[in-house]
Amino acid sequence: MKLTKLAMLATTALLAAGAAMAEGKVKVGMITTLSGGGAGLGIDARDGFMLALKLSGSDAVEVVIEDDQQKPEIAVQLADKMIQAENVDVLTGIIWSNLAMAVVPSAVAQEKIYLSVNAGPSALAGKGCHPNYFNVAWQNDNLHEAAGAYATKAGYAKTFILAPNYPAGTDALTGFKRFYKGELAGEIYTTLGQTDYAAEIAQIRASGADSVFFFLPAGMGISFMKQYADSGVGLPVVGPAFSFDQGILQAVGAAALGVVNTSQWGKDLDNAANQTFVAAFQQEYGRLPSLYASQGYDTANLLLSAIGKADIADKDAFRAALKEADFASTRGDFKFGTNNHPIQDIYVREVIQEGDIFTNKIIGVALEDHVDAYAAECKM
């Protein structure tokens, strides 16, 4: 009995101490993927975020970082811990849509602000939108829509499309078809995590297609591109930036040269914020930034801009300050739509080689001031 009392006292004291420490500072809980096959994405987003905080010289933000191991149940546990024990004000960092769906709805319902550095599932952009949820990256469909628009503009009339059989994969093909006007030579859903695409490539060869669109993030894309290049099929390829971002291009190698991909960001975007970001990132971490890093960087700068304008304790004022998006984005123009998702240009990039390094060069704009397809369904 005595012991229980003592434990309770200690806990209360600790909680009070925690609350006192948080005062005056905005406490951010970052849940992201730092181990396993998808770690490269989370590490880039985290490094971009921390770089922005460092460059700002501001000590107004305290960050707690945890690894979700790309597992929804772990992400939920971490979110509970951060909300209940760490008492964070803002959550951020989740890369994967299935993890975001597990964490975001309950976090925003508990009056926490959630800033998405990457995942943008359609369910959170339409009917499920929330005043406490801000997506700083894109709605999931966006880059695929841009790829569809590009394919139409490039005059492709018979595209073969493939994506993994999971929610973001179906979103991808839906997004592509929304802006693609030609006919489809074929449509395949592959297994999530599949590494051998010989069967799919044989079908592409036999289909009489004039081009290929694929959404295969991370390692799946590396495997597909290497095998595709080796198969001698040789049709032009279009894809979203996820399969051609800086983190994986070196592993794909020359097989990716000349491939066209769509992105809301590129390292050669000509604006001051981006130049500062790219140079500082290279200096700090010794590698080129990826789009995930740019998203993390923008997220931190958005947060800092809101902290400069409003007190986190006044939730209404803070949300309004976030919504203004009054920060210098690495993407140039950036503003939030009615559903707190970005309205932004989406560019067409081409994979090139600079010395020994494979990277992307922007060659055009696919969609200007693009608003996602679900904004109208959001009643907020």
Partner 1 sequence: MTFLLFAEQMLNGLQFGIMLFLMAAGLTLVFGVMGLINLAHGSLYMIGAFAAAAVAGATGSFVLALIASLAAAAAAGALIELTVIRRLYKRDHLDQVLATFALILILSEGTRWVFGSFPLYLDVPSYLSGPVTLPGGIQYPLYRLAIIVAGLVVAGGLFALIARTRIGIQIRAGEADREMIAALGIDISRLYTLVFALGAALAGLAGALVGAIQSVQVGMGEPVLILAFVVIVIGGIGSIKGALVGALLVGMTDTMGGVLLPRFFALFLDPSAATTVGASLGSMLIYILMAVVLIMRPSGLYGSA
Binding site for partner 1 (CB under 8 A): 34-37, 39-40, 43, 165, 187-191, 193, 195-196, 198-199, 202-203, 205-206, 218-220, 222-223, 226-227, 230-232, 247-248, 250-255
Shortest Å distance, C-beta 273 to partner 1: 25
Shortest Å distance, C-beta 23 to partner 1: 36
Shortest Å distance, C-beta 152 to partner 1: 20
Cβ 169 vs Cβ 161: under 8 Å: no
Nearer to partner 1, 245 or 372 (CB): 245
Nearer to partner 1, 202 or 279 (CB): 202
Residue 30 pairs with which residues in a beta bridge? 65, 92
Nearer to partner 1, 203 or 275 (CB): 203
Shortest Å distance, C-beta 220 to partner 1: 8
Shortest Å distance, C-beta 161 to partner 1: 10
Give the Cα separation of 360 and 350 in Å (integer). Answer: 5
Nearer to partner 1, 61 or 241 (CB): 241
Shortest Å distance, C-beta 164 to partner 1: 10
Query: Dihedral angle at the C-alpha atoms of 284, 287, 291, 297, nearest 10 degrees?
Result: 0
Shortest Å distance, C-beta 269 to partner 1: 23
Cβ 133 vs Cβ 151: under 8 Å: no
Query: Tokens at residue 250, please?
Result: 């070196």
Give the Cα separation of 161 and 184 in Å (integer). Answer: 7
Nearer to partner 1, 87 or 194 (CB): 194
Cβ 264 vs Cβ 17: under 8 Å: no
Shortest Å distance, C-beta 181 to partner 1: 18
Cβ 162 vs Cβ 200: under 8 Å: yes
Give the Cα separation of 194 and 352 in Å (integer). Answer: 27
- Residue 60 CA: distances (Å) to CA of 211, 273, 304, 314, 334: 50, 21, 8, 16, 24
Strands 158-164 and 113-116, bridge-based pairing: unpaired
Query: Tokens at residue 378, please?
Result: 């959001």
Nearer to partner 1, 148 or 247 (CB): 247
What phi, psi does 281 have (nearest 5°)?
Answer: -65, -45
Residue 159 pairs with which residues in a beta bridge? 184, 211
Nearer to partner 1, 224 or 336 (CB): 224
Nearer to partner 1, 250 or 353 (CB): 250
Nearer to partner 1, 233 or 310 (CB): 233
Q: Minimal CA–CA distance to 124: which of 168, 165, 65?
A: 168
Start-end of H helices in the chain: 2-22, 39-56, 72-84, 97-109, 142-153, 167-179, 198-207, 218-231, 246-252, 272-285, 291-309, 315-324
Shortest Å distance, C-beta 78 to partner 1: 18
Q: Minimal CA–CA distance to 88: which of 68, 58, 111?
A: 111
Shortest Å distance, C-beta 247 to partner 1: 5
Nearer to partner 1, 41 or 94 (CB): 41
DSSP label at 332? B
